[in-house]
């Protein structure tokens, strides 16, 4: 590869703070609020111009376990309750396949997340992309940013990597694993439509329940879709196959089923069908092509929905999200790792600091195919899953000091990553990371020196009890 050499230059320090959080997605938002509420001066840096990341385009999954019990509270649940008060969410709805579905008004979410940050005293910096960590030996001492105002640095006692891809940790020299392009789960570019007659969707499933199941015979029945206030639908595989046969769907379109997410407004839905496969989100060219491919598919999917799916005859495209939803990328090696046995055996640990509420999964097929039901359910049975705890060591990158991980880049195996990659667990992890960072600063030690038992005690005191401290209770019913 051809290279150029930059001349040596001095980088101005924008600010010195206690905690800097890289990335304002679900985990970064929760981490920043938690650190600030625990007494630290916090700066939250984000490449977009709002707080929330994928919170602002998707329903929040994973507040409940597969028994229908709510297991995640704290800042994540506070956000939802604030939205409920404003009419921006109906609250948590139990879902037989997805544990729970919490749909939220995307624009109101941007407002509420920003308000929660400001109320806690978090300083926000938008239009700032992490370029490199500031290193002092093996300690991360801040971040170098590429901003609208140029190349700048932020110095901090503790840095939290909430980039999703583990960018800070990887550039600090932490060990990580990542799948090749062919094995990566695909990503989706979410978009929204209105003027949808949702009741026609419900009735179509009532007549033929298999239209509401991605894998035939596996998933919620018609009764769920008739009663649930809001729902996520994976189905209509036959209609998509027919459209492909008729030439209404191009041969290179990777999805084999329809994903519809009802929204707080009665006639509005989010569509999770602009899929792109075989890319790595840590490669800028790959990510560009994936997002371009996703946007190319949007009008194709819109036309398909209007022609083939009940309730969409008069539907209109409202908007598409600004970023691609990425399901997996780097997994940073930590002092501990979330293992498949942890998830399957509902393990709870003395050093657990966050809750993993989803099950093990192959997730979405790398080429967009539908998994075989028998293979899927035998390998990853969900009966009896009650959630497990994420050990503090999963947030501590091996060999690197002054840095905490938050979100999907924490230390996991490929299978167990699925249990924490959705937004409610990511916010649970973020709150733990922010709380640990503030405690370390207050005590003048590194994050690695903090006793995890004390972190979990502090979390419980602030409304985020771990599984061993909480009396799991059911969420609201469908009625």
Helix (H) / strand (E) element for 125: namely: strand 123-125
| Domain shared by 268 and 395, yes or no | no
Mean pLDDT of all residues in 436-460 = 97
DSSP assigned state of 8: P
| Domain shared by 39 and 124, yes or no | yes
Tell me, yes or no, whether 379 lies in a domain.
Answer: yes
444 is in which domain, residue-wise? 13-181+328-474
Range scoring the smallest mean pLDDT among 33-42, 158-167, 275-284, 387-396: 275-284
Tell me, yes or no, whether 1 lies in a domain.
Answer: no
Token pair recorded at residue 154: 């932020």
Domain count, the chain: 2
The pLDDT value recorded for residue 383 is 78
How many residues does this entry show for the chain?
479
| Domain shared by 101 and 177, yes or no | yes
The pLDDT value recorded for residue 476 is 41
Question: What is the pTM (predicted TM-score) of this model?
Answer: 0.95
Residue 53 makes CB contacts below 8 A (sequence gap 6+) with 23, 24, 25, 26, 28, 29, 46, 164, 323
The whole-angstrom separation of Cα 398 and Cα 404 is 10
The mean predicted confidence, pLDDT, of the chain is 92
Assign 474 a pLDDT band (cuts: 50, 70, 90): very low
pLDDT over threshold 50, residue 479: no
Number of Cβ within a 10 Å radius of residue 199? 12
Tell me, yes or no, whether 4 lies in a domain.
Answer: no
Tell me, yes or no, whether 479 lies in a domain.
Answer: no
Q: Which residues pair with 159 in a beta bridge?
A: 20, 403
| Domain shared by 425 and 382, yes or no | yes
The whole-angstrom separation of Cα 308 and Cα 271 is 15
The whole-angstrom separation of Cα 302 and Cα 299 is 5
| Domain shared by 309 and 339, yes or no | no
Distances (CA, A) of 364 to 95, 184, 254, 329: 19, 9, 11, 14
The pLDDT value recorded for residue 384 is 82
Mean pLDDT of all residues in 257-268 = 94
DSSP assigned state of 258: E
The whole-angstrom separation of Cα 34 and Cα 47 is 21
For residue range 186-223, list pLDDT tens digits in order: 899 999 999 999 999 999 999 998 888 776 566 778 88
Mean pLDDT of all residues in 326-338 = 96
Is residue 464 a contact partner of residue 430, using CB atoms and an 8 Å limit? no
> 252, exposed or middle or buried, with CB in 10 Å at 0-12, 13-18, 19+?
exposed
The pLDDT value recorded for residue 377 is 66
Phi, psi of 219 (to 5 degrees): 140, 180
Assign 471 a pLDDT band (cuts: 50, 70, 90): low
DSSP assigned state of 257: S
Q: Which of 286, 320, 354 corresponds to the end of one domain? A: 320
| Domain shared by 125 and 147, yes or no | yes
Q: Chain-centre distance of CA 479, in angstroms?
A: 28
For residue range 62-121, list pLDDT tens digits in order: 999 988 899 999 999 999 999 999 999 999 998 888 889 999 999 999 999 999 999 999
| Domain shared by 172 and 222, yes or no | no
Smallest CA-to-CA distance from 140 within 395, 333, 391, 397 is with 397
Buried b (16+ CB within 10 A) or exposed e, 443-472: eeebbbebebeebbebbbebebbbbeebee
pLDDT over threshold 50, residue 242: yes
Task: State the CATH number of the domain containing residue 21.
Answer: 3.50.50.60
Q: Which of 294, 320, 346 corresponds to the end of one domain? A: 320
Residue 313 makes CB contacts below 8 A (sequence gap 6+) with 197, 306
| Domain shared by 332 and 316, yes or no | no
For residue range 248-259, list pLDDT tens digits in order: 999 999 998 999
Helix (H) / strand (E) element for 140: namely: strand 139-147
The pLDDT value recorded for residue 212 is 85
Share of residues in the chain with pLDDT > 90 (%): 79
Per the model's pLDDT, the better-predicted residue between 160 and 367 turns out to be 160
DSSP letter string, 34-54: HHHHTT--EEEE-SSSSS-GG
DSSP letter string, 376-432: HHHHS--TT---EEEEGGGGSBTT-BSEEE-STTSSB-TTGGGGT-SHHHHHHHHHH
């Amino acid at each position: 590869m051809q290279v150029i050499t930059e001349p040596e230059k001095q980088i101005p320090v924008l600010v010195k703070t206690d905690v800097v959080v890289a990335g304002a997605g679900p985990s970064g938002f929760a981490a920043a609020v938690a650190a600030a509420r625990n007494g630290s001066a916090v700066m939250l840096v984000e490449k977009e111009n709002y707080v929330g990341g994928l919170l602002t385009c998707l329903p929040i999954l994973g507040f409940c376990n597969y028994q229908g019990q709510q297991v995640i509270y704290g800042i994540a649940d506070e956000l939802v309750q604030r939205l409920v008060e404003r009419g921006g969410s109906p609250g948590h709805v139990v879902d037989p396949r997805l544990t729970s579905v919490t749909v939220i008004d995307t624009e109101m979410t941007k407002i509420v997340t920003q308000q929660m940050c400001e109320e806690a005293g978090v300083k926000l910096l938008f239009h700032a992309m992490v370029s490199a960590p500031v290193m002092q030996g093996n300690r991360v001492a801040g971040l170098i940013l590429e901003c609208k105002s140029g190349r700048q640095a932020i110095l901090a006692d503790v840095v939290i990597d909430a980039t999703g891809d583990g960018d800070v940790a990887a550039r600090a020299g932490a060990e990580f694993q990542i799948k090749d392009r062919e094995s990566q789960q695909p990503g989706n570019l979410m978009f929204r439509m209105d003027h949808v007659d949702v009741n026609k969707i419900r009735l179509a499933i009532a007549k033929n329940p298999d239209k509401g199941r991605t894998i035939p015979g596996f998933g919620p029945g018609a009764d769920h879709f008739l009663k649930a206030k809001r729902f996520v639908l994976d189905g209509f595989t036959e209609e998509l196959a027919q459209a492909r046969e008729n030439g209404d769907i191009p041969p290179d379109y990777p999805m084999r089923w329809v994903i519809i997410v009802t929204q707080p407004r009665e006639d509005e839905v989010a569509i999770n069908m602009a899929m792109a496969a075989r890319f790595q989100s840590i490669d800028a060219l790959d990510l560009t092509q994936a997002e371009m491919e996703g946007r190319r598919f949007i009008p194709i999917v819109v036309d398909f929905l209007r022609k083939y799916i009940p309730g969409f005859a008069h539907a209109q495209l409202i908007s598409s999200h600004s970023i691609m939803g990425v399901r997996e990328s780097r997994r940073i090696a930590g002092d501990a790792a979330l293992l498949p046995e942890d998830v399957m055996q509902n393990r709870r640990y003395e050093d657990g600091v966050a809750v993993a509420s989803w099950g093990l999964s192959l997730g979405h097929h790398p080429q967009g195919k539908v998994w075989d039901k028998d293979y899927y359910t035998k390998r990853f049975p969900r009966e009896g899953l009650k959630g497990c705890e994420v050990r503090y060591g999963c947030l501590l990158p091996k060999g690197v000091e002054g840095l905490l991980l938050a979100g999907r880049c924490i230390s996991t195996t490929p299978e167990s990553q699925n249990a924490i990659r959705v937004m409610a667990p990511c916010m649970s992890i973020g709150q733990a990371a922010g709380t640990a960072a503030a405690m370390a600063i207050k005590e003048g030690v590194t994050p690695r020196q903090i006793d995890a038992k004390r972190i979990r005690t502090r979390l419980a005191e602030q409304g985020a009890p771990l599984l061993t401290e909480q009396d799991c209770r059911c969420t609201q019913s469908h009625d």
